[in-house]
Structure 1
């Protein structure tokens, strides 16, 4: 930064005229330009930024895990300590619990975050919760989160819809996945082909559902082609399901 400033001043001094700016004023102009340039850049959503946990967050996370078997003490600790965490620490603890698939604690912190004064409904916040719940096959909790995001009028884009639906499909929850697919079809966001292809690939173990989505895809994108898997692949998957049922 200082090297840039010195270069800037050097060039300015070569072309200095009798009524040119003073050196101090030139420095102020230079840094004002740098500030305006950086301020004009769009900032990432707080849910997409790298979340680093501070000392207070580490202590809170450790205590939350220790107290999760004692609901009374856990709620008391959340009210007295967790609610006082810095925003960065609170989000970092939530992200870490999501990574660890700590469903119970994630739902607790999910409620805490939504009560914070700085909270604003955000697509990525709900996406991360739903992806974690899909991994852990928690349909009831996913339904609760979905009701909340609809109440808060959060809209997913088509790519996010595709990722969430695929997560539920990959974890053996086709019914919930298709519920979300219906929401995707009713979304005001214009449909694009890639999320449909992601969903179609996830639907390979579910041929009947795949045919329904395939029909929608071909209706929306008549000039595109869908490559179907070999029929024996479906037969092999049906045999595997029968073995699991036995």
Structure 2
């Protein structure tokens, strides 16, 4: 349908995704509408976009902390002693829904507050519904690994397996990363072999961590062996190995350029 403003000069063409109160036979498309303006004296066409831009398209909702979870986080941070922390955990944390407790723990991890993370985890690890969550154990192993607290990482891994839980690819990979950060490459290889023996398949991240760090410490032969094993577990192994080599060479180039700059000062 065309609505003419000035017959001799302009015509307004209403596209199918525009809806006017007086027009019932035009379809409406949510979040976007446009009016095409065409001048008879000029072949150029201008487009006026009405409504929401594409960048403002509706996004899937993200998880937001509840007011109760935020209040507990504030209370935990204000507690200056372990005794007060225990009081907050016993009086406030037990009142939260399970989903709020998990969101609270994820927020503390995002803030890299390892002390409170461990307090909350140790409090809920024996609670029904939490003690079988592999993801919680993997998160805590990652946290301990970053802090090079390998003893606690090993304890958590043993605790999970002692409860009859079967470690998944992520838990094994986090344990490998923890050993590498602690400078224990032999144990990292040992846990990798245990991973395969248990029937759990390593993924791209597992191989990436191991190969790059083996090459970094000069274990070229072992790194080559792992590259061969990629063909059994990784999709498009040739492409993956090429990516690993490019990242490794990029790191070397950065290191060499940094050394040149440092030497020239």
Higher relative contact order (CA 8 A, sep 6+): 1
Is the Cα contact below 8 Å between 1:53 and 1:88 reproduced in 2?
no
The question of whether the paired residues in 2 share the 8 Å contact of 1:162 and 1:199 is answered with no
Residues 83 and 112, structure 1, Cα contact 8 Å, conserved in 2: no
TM-score under structure 2 length normalisation: 0.56
| Alpha-carbon spacing, 1:179–1:129, altered in 2? closer, same or farther (3 Å) | farther
Which residue of 102, 106, 122 corresponds with 1:111? 122
Match of 1:57 among 62, 69, 73: 69
Partner in structure 2 of residue 205 of structure 1: 216
Whose helix proportion is higher, 1 or 2?
Answer: 1
Residue from 105, 122, 140 that aligns with 2:151: 140
How many residues were matched structurally?
Answer: 187
> Cα gap change, 1:109/1:178 in structure 2, threshold over 3 Å: closer, same or farther?
farther
> Which residue of the other structure, out of 146, 149, 159, is the alignment partner of 2:160?
149
TM-score where L is the length of structure 1: 0.59
Q: CA deviation at 1:51?
A: 4.5
Name the CA shift for 1:138/1:191 in 2 (closer, same or farther; >3 Å): closer
Cα distance change of structure 1 residues 142 and 162 upon mapping to structure 2, 3 Å threshold: closer
Instruction: Give the distance between the partners of 1:89 and 1:204, measured in 2 at CA.
Output: 43
Aligned residue in 1 for 2:78: 66
Task: Answer with 1 or 2: which has the greater Rg.
Answer: 2
Counterpart pick for 1:187 among 182, 194, 198 = 198
Please tell me whether residue 90 in structure 1 is matched to residue 101 in structure 2.
yes
Partners of 1:192 and 1:74 in 2: CA distance: 39
Contact 1:123–1:154, Cα closer than 8 Å, also in 2: yes
Q: Secondary structure at the match of 1:96?
A: helix
Task: Tell me if the contact between 2:69 and 2:100 (Cα under 8 Å) persists in the aligned partners.
Answer: yes
Q: For the structure 1 residues 159 and 85, does the alpha-carbon distance in structure 2 shift closer, same or farther, using more than 3 Å as the test?
A: closer
Once residues 138 and 214 of structure 2 are traced to their aligned partners in structure 1, the CA distance between those partners, rounded to angstroms, is 20
What is residue 13 of structure 1 aligned with on the other side? none
**1:102 alignment counterpart:** 113
Q: Distance in 1 between matches of 2:171 and 2:155?
A: 18
CA shift for structure 1 position 110:
1.0
Q: What is the alpha-carbon distance in structure 1 between the residues aligned to residue 68 and residue 230 of structure 2? A: 51
